[in-house]
Amino acid sequence: MELFILGAADSMVVAVGSSLVQLAGFLVLLALLGKFAWGPIKKVMDEREQLINSEIDDAEARSKEAKRLKEENDRILKETQADISSMMENAKLQAKKEQESIISDANQRANQLIQDAKSDIDREKQNAIQEINAQVSEISVLIAEKMIRKEINADDQKALIEEYLKEAGSK
Amino acid sequence: MEHGSPLFELELFGLPIIFELSTVLMVVISSLVTFLIFALMARNIAVRPTGRVQIALEILVNFVRGMITGNMSWAQGGKFHFLALTLITYIFVANFIGIPFMFAAPDEASTLWWKSPTADPTITLTLAALMIIMTHYYGVQERGMGDYVKSYFEPTWWMAPLKFLEEFTYNLTLGLRLYGNVYAGEILLTLLVTLVMSGSIIATLGFIPMVVWQAFKVFISGIQAFIFVMLTMVYISHKISADH
């Protein structure tokens, strides 16, 4: 045991007991702190670390989702705009077609009306001429009757005048 | 300024087991104080920090974590976090506890009862030995017996005796550095206190140096606790990592 004396001074001895007490005391301290202090501290700090990690993950996921939604919205908007412009184009074409058909219809009907009117006028003219002819012959007979004061059969006279008139008309 | 030591001898299997009672007392008190500090600080701990106490505790925990990650990867060093935290707090408390006051019994030998337990080389060497033995344990556990033994013959075979000796000098330097700093501080503090208590006119001049020295001792207490734990982590990282 003398070998282990520190400092080789007579008054100093190796207090093995102190050493054992320190050893046991430190181990007991470790055990107690492990149970009463380190457990809760580690738990809380780990929990916080996990919480922060999961929050960051969540935020990243959310921003990714938001980006995806924005892209989708843009895509839908573009599609809708394309749809609308094509619909407008179609509507314009349709309207033009309708306009043209309406105009041609109207033209056709106008022509028809003009045609009808013309033929009506022709017919009426023909009728008028015939009537005038008839009246002229009667009037001529009356004039002739008065002029020659001669008793002639009205019918013979009429036939005679018509003959003259025809001759005159054919000239 | 000689102080007596209260010794208590126990015969066990024919071998004398000597207890230095003041050291035993102070070890128990330091351990209790350390336990109470942590138990009280960790009482109201919450995920969302609830107050300055928790912030202070977490600063300490993260500080110790930084000491470990400075030496090794967290995957390897994470399991020493609690040990390092307890060790640094215990050593600081043990260093500090002799500063505010001391108590020497008014008997003939003026037996010293209240002091820093770390002012006793037995205590510091015990802690150092515990740490060094632990580094060997984890060295074997992490790298396997083969690599552990091989590490003594690296970089060349004739380094082996030096490397073997080194393990003992680690133990001695680790323990004696702490003991020397605390013990020297206590001696100077005792001298200054004696000067102040002497009652002469010079005594009043001793008061300011005493206060200054106490402040410096608080600083030394922290630094030595830091160095002890830091070196422990360095030794552990030497033992458990393949590359140096």
Instruction: Indicate the SS3 state at residue B113.
Output: strand
Take residue A106 and report the two structure tokens written for it. 């109207």
Residue B87's closest CA among B50, B140, B126, B142? Answer: B126
Candidate from B18, B85, B90 with C-beta closest to A26: B90
Give pLDDT tens digits for B34-70: 999 888 888 878 877 778 888 888 899 899 999 999 8
Say which residues have a Cβ less than 8 Å from residue A5's Cβ, sequence separation at least 6: A12, A13, A14
**Looking at residue B242, what is its pLDDT?**
66
Q: Using an 8 Å Cβ cutoff, are A25 and B129 in contact?
A: no
Q: Rg for chain B (alpha carbons), in Å?
A: 21
Higher pLDDT, B102 or B56: B56
Q: For chain A, say whether B88 makes contact (Cβ under 8 Å).
A: no
- CB contact (8 A) between residue A19 and residue B122: yes
pLDDT, residue A8, reads: 45
| Distance in angstroms (rounded) separating the CA atoms of residues B140 and B236 | 11
Per the CB < 8 Å rule, is A17 touching B17? Answer: yes
C-alpha pair distances (Å), A105 with each of A101, A112, A113, B216: 6, 11, 12, 114
3-state helix, strand, coil in chain B (%, to 5): 75, 5, 20
CA nearest neighbour of A160 among A135, A142, A137, A139: A137
B130 and B74 Cβ atoms separated by less than 8 Å:
no
Report pLDDT digits (tens) over B26-35: 899 999 999 9
How far from the centroid of its chain's Cα atoms is residue A112's Cα? Answer: 41
CB half-sphere exposure, A47, CA atoms < 13 A:
11
Residue B88 is which amino acid?
Answer: I
For residue B243, what pLDDT band results from cuts at 50, 70 and 90?
Answer: low
Of B9, B26, B171, B128, the residue nearest A1 (C-alpha): B9
Q: Does B47 touch chain A (CB under 8 A)?
A: yes
Q: What is the DSSP string of B65-80?
A: HHHHHTTS-HHHHGGG
**Taking the mean position of all CA atoms in its chain, how far away is CA B63?**
17
- Which helix (H) or strand (E) covers residue B12, if one does? strand B7-12
Nearest to B42 among A25, A41, A48 (CB): A41
Q: What does R_g of chain A's alpha carbons equal in angstroms?
A: 66
pLDDT bucket at B93, cuts 50 / 70 / 90: very high
Test A18 with B125 for CB contact under 8 angstroms. no
Best mutation target among A29, A49, A50 (most B Cβ atoms within 10 Å) is: A29
pLDDT of residue A79: 96
Q: Is B19 helix (H, G, I), strand (E, B) or coil?
A: strand
- Mutation to test the A interface, candidates B2, B31, B133, most A Cβ within 10 Å: B31
Q: Compute the distance between CA of residue B149 and CA of residue B86 in angstroms, rounded to an integer.
A: 30
Q: Please list every residue in chain A whose beta carbon sits closer than 8 Å to the beta carbon of residue B39.
A: 33, 36-37
pLDDT at residue number A64: 96
Cβ distance B219 to B153 under 8 Å? no
Q: Do A22 and B27 touch (CB under 8 A)?
A: yes
Top residue of A33, A46, A49 to mutate, by most chain B CBs within 10 Å, is A33
Identify the residue with better confidence: B77 or A6: B77
Given a contact cutoff of 8 angstroms between Cβ atoms, the answer to whether A34 and B82 are in contact is yes
CA dist B134 and B16 (Å) reads 27
Residues of chain A in Cβ contact (below 8 Å) with chain B? 1, 6, 13-23, 25-26, 28-30, 32-34, 36-38, 40-42, 44-45, 47-48, 51
Q: What is the pLDDT of residue B207?
A: 82
Q: Which residue has the tokens 């323990």?
A: B175
Q: What was the pLDDT predicted at A9?
A: 46
- Flag if B16 and A1 touch (Cβ within 8 Å): yes
Cα separation, B91 vs B124, whole angstroms:
9
Alpha helices in chain B (DSSP H): 21-41, 52-69, 74-77, 81-96, 121-150, 160-197, 202-240
Residue spans per domain, chain A? 2-170
CA–CA min distance B119, chain A (Å): 13
Q: What pLDDT does A171 receive?
A: 62
CB atoms B127 and A33 under 8 Å: no
Structure-token pair, residue B206: 């001793």
Q: Pick the residue with more confidence: B110 or B54?
A: B54
Residues of chain A whose pLDDT is less than 50?
1-3, 5-11
Domains in chain B: boundaries: 7-240
Average pLDDT over residues B198-206: 76
pLDDT beyond 60 at B140: yes
- Nearest 5°: the CA angle A37, A38, A44 is 95
Mutate to test the interface with A, among B48, B63, B74, B82 (most CBs of A within 10 A): B82
CB contact under 8 A, A18 and B46: no
Please, what sign has the CA dihedral across residues A9, A12, A13, A19? negative
The answer to whether residue B60 neighbours chain A at the CB level (below 8 Å) is no
Q: Is B132 on the interface with A (CB under 8 A)?
A: no
CA distance A60 to chain B (A): 22
CB contact under 8 A, B58 and A45: yes
3-state class of B244 per DSSP? coil
pLDDT tens, position by position, B158-178 = 888 888 898 899 999 999 999
Tell me: pLDDT of B125 over 70: yes
Q: Does B18 touch chain A (CB under 8 A)?
A: yes
Helix axes B81-96, B121-150, angle to 10 degrees: 160
